[in-house]
Amino acid sequence: MLTAVLIGTSCSLLGSFLILRKSVMIGDAISHSVLPGIVLAFIFTEERAALPILIGAAVFGVLTTMFIQFLQRKSNVQEGAAIGISFTFFFALGVIMIALSTGGNVDIDQDCVLFGEIASTYLDKIFVNGYFVGTRSILTIAPVLLIVILFVVFGMKGLRLTSFNEDYAKALGINVNAWNYALLMLVSITAVLSFEAVGAVLVVGFLTIPPASAYLITNNLSKMLWLSVVFTLLSAVGGTLLALTLDVTISGMIVSVAGILFLLTWSGKIIMTKSKKIEKLSEV
Amino acid sequence: MISLEAHNLTVAYDKVPVLWDIDFELPTGKIIGIIGPNGSGKTTLLKTIMGLIKPASGYVKVFEQDLDEVRQRVAYVPQRESVDWDFPASVQDVVEMGRYRKNSLFRRLTQTDKEIVANAIEKVKLTAFKDRQISQLSGGQQQRVFIARALAQGADIFFMDEPFVGVDATTETAILDLLTTMRDEGKTVVIVHHDLQTVSGYFDHLVLLNTRVIACGPTAEVLTQENLSNAYGGQLTLLSKIQSIIKEKEFPIREKGFEKR
């Protein structure tokens, strides 16, 4: 559950900016196309060491984005198509690489990549001097979350500016590309970590649903970030508990809860605006 | 002193030239209009000046220096439609962006910054709205937010892309008053504008554009029927007669074969 909370928080903070940049699907693309990076790192190091895998993923995340932009600029395909081409292509490469390099008997298997299995992450415990310090996944995610939080807190001005008005940022002489790639690299890293927990498909849920719910009900960027974290907490905790009670998949339940929360927020907002209108009418 | 100069500037999208051999010099302390028909490359010219588009050839200098050396003195006001006004930000937030600097992005705004921001908001008469979310503003108010942001930069030259499009009469007068004050303080304002009717009232100096520079100079000198006809061609019915006369005299309106491409 802690794993889900940590991953979800990273995802929702980064996802907020993806939503504001209208590039959520890039997050989707990245979450899939980091796979070859992971596999390559795995082949070279022959273990599931965290650092090489993260680097491999970050590299492929950025590669994907560059590839998408390159396709758009040079071949005139529209953004949606460019994204579709790049991420399915990279993901397929990754799947083939898994099959070729390992002959099938590995730690990385395709089901896990797609759907993840959060329930098993707690089995992988790390002991220091005989004391239990946490599970492997929590220990990898915590520093990444810290980096994400620092990035968002200190980079707030840059992120706000480049997300709102890229041309203006460029006109101020700000290196817009550096900001974009920094954001997308963090998305890639977070996506890899989320692989184990929720899998490639559900990462997008984490990246999108909580920030989207928050976006509906606030007009302030910092509030939006806070609220999306709150939504993440609610869905992670609620989803895990529900899943345990009903004995179903945890990651699926978490994202379902997030989705239900989104629908609730949305209908709540509709009702609120309607009642406000009625109030105004009755005042007149 | 020359505020802005472009020499031998050519910009092309997909090998189709949008700007061709642009060459002009503009004075300081004037309100300058860049006018021309739709698709004549006005916005492209502005974006090229701001370094957002790379020219195929030629160069631009601001205050006789490269843009990168004088960025602090240059403010850009993009077209209002170019951003998403549903972005969660208040008037204050957006105007504060005018104080963002390349080298101080990670620092907090100082007290001086805040005063400059408040002052800029006051100048565009939006103080009462400063905490309002930007999507809840009218088109004219949104335009004034953009101008306030440019003012907050404390620049010497301002580039504005169609600031009078879709704004109410109040805003139009407010912007014009502001521009006049700015000019009187010695600032240079370069405005992309498409409404011919208001041109003579607004600008001191004009660049008449249609892929090439048709004319450049003080408004009265540029705004001749011959120049307008050259720039607008058949688009101005009133001038169609003159146009036909010019055609008879085989005055080259455009390069031959230009329209066939």
Question: Which of B31, B32, B25 has the alpha carbon at shortest distance from B3?
Answer: B25
Which helix (H) or strand (E) is A134 found in, with range?
strand A131-135
**A235 or A113, higher pLDDT:** A235
Q: What is the pLDDT of residues B198-239, one digit of tens each?
A: 888 888 999 988 888 888 888 888 888 888 888 877 555 555
Task: Report the pLDDT value the prediction gives residue A262, as an integer from 0 to 100.
Answer: 92
How many contacts does A have with B, using Cβ atoms within 8 A? 79
Task: Report the pLDDT value the prediction gives residue A59, as an integer from 0 to 100.
Answer: 84
Task: Report the pLDDT value the prediction gives residue B202, as an integer from 0 to 100.
Answer: 87
| Set of chain B residues whose Cβ sits within 8 Å of the Cβ of A74 | none
How distant is the Cα of B133 from the closest Cα of chain A, in angstroms? 6
How many Cα atoms occupy the beta-carbon half-sphere of A42 within 13 Å? 20
- Cβ contact (<8 Å) for B106 and A219? no
Partner residues linked to B76 by β-bridges: B159
**Position A173 in a domain:** yes
Contact residues of A toward B, CB < 8 A? 20, 22, 154-155, 157-158, 160-161, 163-165, 167-175, 215, 218-221, 223-224
% of chain B at pLDDT higher than 70? 89
% of chain A at pLDDT higher than 70? 81
Among A155, A167, A218, the residue with its CB nearest the CB of B88 is A218
Any CB–CB contact under 8 A between B194 and chain A?
Answer: no
| Set of chain A residues whose Cβ sits within 8 Å of the Cβ of B102 | 172-175
Phi (first) and psi of residue B138, to 5 degrees:
-75, 165
Residue A77 sits in a domain whose CATH number is 1.10.3470.10
**Position A205 in a domain:** no
Residues B130-147 have a mean pLDDT of 89
| Set of chain A residues whose Cβ sits within 8 Å of the Cβ of B90 | 219-220
- Cβ contact (<8 Å) for B100 and A172? yes
3-state secondary structure of A249: coil
Residue A57 has pLDDT above 60, yes or no: yes
Question: Which of A180, A234, A191, A257 has the alpha carbon at shortest distance from A32?
Answer: A191
- Closest residue in A to B68 (Cα–Cα): A173
- Cβ contact (<8 Å) for A167 and B105? no
- Cβ contact (<8 Å) for B101 and A172? yes
- Cβ contact (<8 Å) for B76 and A160? no
DSSP character at residue A122:
G
Phi (first) and psi of residue B84, to 5 degrees:
-90, 110
Residue A87 has pLDDT above 50, yes or no: yes
What's the one-letter identity of residue A119?
A: A
- Cβ contact (<8 Å) for A164 and B89? yes
Structure tokens at B189: 């304002």
**Position A77 in a domain:** yes
Task: Give the N- to C-terminal CA distance of chain A in Å, as an integer.
Answer: 51
- Cβ contact (<8 Å) for A167 and B97? no
Residue A167 has pLDDT above 80, yes or no: yes
DSSP character at residue A109:
-
Any CB–CB contact under 8 A between B247 and chain A?
Answer: no
In terms of average pLDDT, the best of A125-139, A180-194, B49-63, B103-117 is B49-63
Quote the CA–CA distance of A51 and A60 in Å, as a whole number.
14
Among B51, B97, B100, the residue with its CB nearest the CB of A170 is B51
Phi (first) and psi of residue B167, to 5 degrees:
-110, 155
- Closest residue in B to A174 (Cα–Cα): B102
Every domain of chain B and the residues it spans = 2-40+51-249
Task: Report the pLDDT value the prediction gives residue B261, as an integer from 0 to 100.
Answer: 43
Structure tokens at B38: 């739709």
Any CB–CB contact under 8 A between B47 and chain A?
Answer: yes
Mean pLDDT (chain A) is: 80
Quote the CA–CA distance of B31 and B187 in Å, as a whole number.
9
CB within 8 Å of chain A, chain B residues 137-166: 149, 153
| Set of chain B residues whose Cβ sits within 8 Å of the Cβ of A220 | 88-90, 133
Among B68, B74, B83, the residue with its CB nearest the CB of A164 is B83
* b/e map A168-199, b = 16+ CB within 10 Å: bbbbbbbebeebbbbbbbbbbbbbbbbbbbbb
Among A167, A218, A221, the residue with its CB nearest the CB of B78 is A167
Task: Report the pLDDT value the prediction gives residue A42, as an integer from 0 to 100.
Answer: 75
| Set of chain B residues whose Cβ sits within 8 Å of the Cβ of A171 | 50-52, 71, 74, 76, 78
Q: What is the pLDDT of residues A33-47, one digit of tens each?
A: 888 887 787 777 766
Among A158, A164, A170, the residue with its CB nearest the CB of B87 is A164
Question: How many beta carbons lie within 10 A of that of residue A34, not counting itself?
Answer: 34
How distant is the Cα of B125 from the closest Cα of chain A, in angstroms? 22
Q: What is the pLDDT of residues B23-37, one digit of tens each?
A: 888 988 899 999 888
Domain residue limits at A94:
2-121+132-199
Poorest-pLDDT segment among A102-111, A155-164, B144-153: A102-111
In terms of average pLDDT, the best of A50-54, A201-205, A207-211, A250-254 is A207-211
B2-40+51-249 maps to CATH 3.40.50.300:
yes
pTM above 0.90, yes or no: no
Total domains present in chain A: 1
- Cβ contact (<8 Å) for A219 and B47? no
When scoring A76, A153, A164 by the number of chain B Cβ atoms within 10 A, the one with the most, hence best to mutate, is A164
Q: What is the pLDDT of residues B186-209, one digit of tens each?
A: 999 999 988 888 888 888 999 988
Task: Report the pLDDT value the prediction gives residue A227, as an integer from 0 to 100.
Answer: 92
When scoring A17, A219, A221, A224 by the number of chain B Cβ atoms within 10 A, the one with the most, hence best to mutate, is A219
Quote the CA–CA distance of A235 and A15 in Å, as a whole number.
15
Task: Report the pLDDT value the prediction gives residue B64, as an integer from 0 to 100.
Answer: 85
**Position A76 in a domain:** yes
Q: What is the pLDDT of residues A241-263, one digit of tens each?
A: 898 888 887 778 888 898 999 99
- Closest residue in B to A224 (Cα–Cα): B88
Structure tokens at A252: 């699926």
